[in-house]
């Protein structure tokens, strides 16, 4: 295509658009795992719908399992946001403080974020050890530690990805808090 852009709607009222090339090569492992759980969730919900409204005999286990799959999608999938450094952040104060102070505060944010995720890993392990394998799911006879294990995997992945983001910020000498305009170029 040449350098000129084509209007979305031409003079005759026809709609023109071109899709961008989809590149999934940068998708991290947690994203694929979360997507797989999401598809299993979708199949489970469809099965629930089918048994309830078509067969008029609802499968009781589907609601509970769907809820636990949703937990897995969220806790494992959120590490994708951590890896991309897409958390909610307030950069207003960084614009009005000295650059050196902003740099140190940005480093503190990186350290505290990583420490929070690491603490969540430790607390999840402690909780899993306290409840043991005796606590069962309500309808499905399986240990609740399966659900908490998904949370643990998610927190561990968030910790690892947070460490990677921290390392990237420290190597290049700034974070998106200090230079929000850089978010499109690097993060």
pLDDT tens readout for residues 17-69? 777 888 888 889 999 999 999 999 999 999 999 999 999 888 889 999 999 99
Bigger pLDDT: 87 vs 108: 108
Residue 35 lies inside a defined structural domain of this protein: yes
Q: Residues 176, 106: contact at Cβ < 8 Å?
A: no
* Residue 15, in any domain of the structure: no
Global pTM?
0.81
> Would you say residue 5 lies in a domain?
no
Reported as a pLDDT band with limits 50, 70 and 90, residue 14 is confident
**Predicted local confidence at residue 1, as pLDDT:** 46
pLDDT at 183 over 70: no
**Total domain count for the chain?**
1
* Exposed/middle/buried for residue 140 (C-beta within 10 Å: 0-12, 13-18, 19+): middle
Check residue 117 and give its pLDDT.
Answer: 97
In a domain, 13, yes or no: no
Closest CA to 182 of 98, 117, 106, 115: 106
Q: In terms of residue numbers, what domain contains 92?
A: 29-183
């Amino acid at each position: 295509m040449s350098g000129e852009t084509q209007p979305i709607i031409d003079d005759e009222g026809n709609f023109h658009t071109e899709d961008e090339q989809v590149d999934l090569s940068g998708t991290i492992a947690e994203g694929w795992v979360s997507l797989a759980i999401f598809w299993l969730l979708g199949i489970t919900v469809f099965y629930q719908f089918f048994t309830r409204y078509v067969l008029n005999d609802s499968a009781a286990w589907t609601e509970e399992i769907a809820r636990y799959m949703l937990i897995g999608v969220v806790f494992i999938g959120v590490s994708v946001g951590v890896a991309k450094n897409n958390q909610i952040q307030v950069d207003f104060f960084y614009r009005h403080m000295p650059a050196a102070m902003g740099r140190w505060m940005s480093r503190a944010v990186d350290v505290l974020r990583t420490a929070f995720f690491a603490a969540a890993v430790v607390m999840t392990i402690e909780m899993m050890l306290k409840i043991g394998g005796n606590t069962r799911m309500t309808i499905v006879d399986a240990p609740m530690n399966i659900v908490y294990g998904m949370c643990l995997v998610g927190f561990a992945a968030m910790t690892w990805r947070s460490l990677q983001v921290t390392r990237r910020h420290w190597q290049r000498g700034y974070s998106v808090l200090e230079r929000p305009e850089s978010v499109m170029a690097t993060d």
